[in-house]
Amino acid sequence: MPASADAPPTIGIDPSAEFERFELGAGSWVDIARGWLLGADALYEHLQTTMPWRQGRVWRYERWIDEPRLGAGFPIARAPHPVFADVRRSLRARYAVDFDGFGLAYYRDARDSVAMHRDREMRWLDDTIVAILTTGARRPFVIQPRSSRGTDGARDLSPAGGDLLVLGGRFQADWLHGVPKVRTAVHGRISVQMRHTTGRGRPEAGPGYRAPREFSRGATRGAR
């Protein structure tokens, strides 16, 4: 029997979605699976209206400023939708790693963003897997080598709703990623992040993204 026109859209993983790997060199790689999650727009609406979004603050330019995005998170046991159990199982089967929770980032409009950075809060960055599932609007997601200057070597992966990005190997050690502001109107985007580190290698020293940083007198202390 065909589904009713009034039935809610199905939210689930598309088993036919293909993964494409991009080798970035020196042990860093990115996997992209376009359209991996079916019903991504419905999941976006669910997360937008039900999650306890919070406004983060960071210390920059000798004062506290609001982060230009909202955040939320939840452990596996309190997932806000059944699909997250399927997401976790599918990624565990493919990458042979486990995730103990999910982080969410809500980019409300064109003004919201996150600067180019590495996920240094993981500390051990020599061998990591960071999976990012996009719901909502397509917008830029830029990666570039940590050693580059300006925008040299930058690539825009531009995930759309339902797309899955997986940043692996030495990516967090050697590459930067960020979501820039855009100049044209854009609807909201909610990304779901899952992180794993093997704990191999030397732990990162120095401050993470949220640590206070000073930029006075032309000097940058604790920047990354």
**How does DSSP assign 18-76, residue by residue?**
PEEEEEEETTEEEEEETT-EETHHHHHHHHHHHS--EEEEEEETTEEEEEEEEEEEEEG
Decide if 123 is inside a domain: yes
Q: Which pLDDT value is given to residue 203?
A: 94
Within 10 Å of residue 209's Cβ, how many Cβ atoms?
A: 16
Q: Is residue 85 a part of any domain in this protein?
A: yes
Give residue 218's pLDDT: 44
Looking at the 3D structure of the chain, how many domains does it have?
Answer: 1
Write the CATH number for 142: 2.60.120.590
Residue 218 domain-assigned? Answer: no
pTM score, whole prediction = 0.88
Mean pLDDT of the chain: 90
Domain extent at residue 24: 16-199
Asked if the structure places residue 72 within a domain, the reply is: yes
177 pLDDT exceeds 80? Answer: yes
Assigned domain for 4 exists: no
Q: What is the pLDDT of residues 120-174, one digit of tens each?
A: 999 999 999 999 999 999 999 999 999 998 889 999 999 999 999 999 999 999 9
Would you state the torsion angle of the CA atoms of residues 135, 77, 102, 110, taken in this order, to the nearest 10 degrees? 40
**Token output for 224:** 């990354």
Note the pLDDT tens digit of each residue in 65-91. Answer: 889 999 999 998 899 999 999 999 999
221 confidence band (pLDDT: 50, 70, 90):
very low
Question: What is the SS3 assignment for 112?
Answer: coil
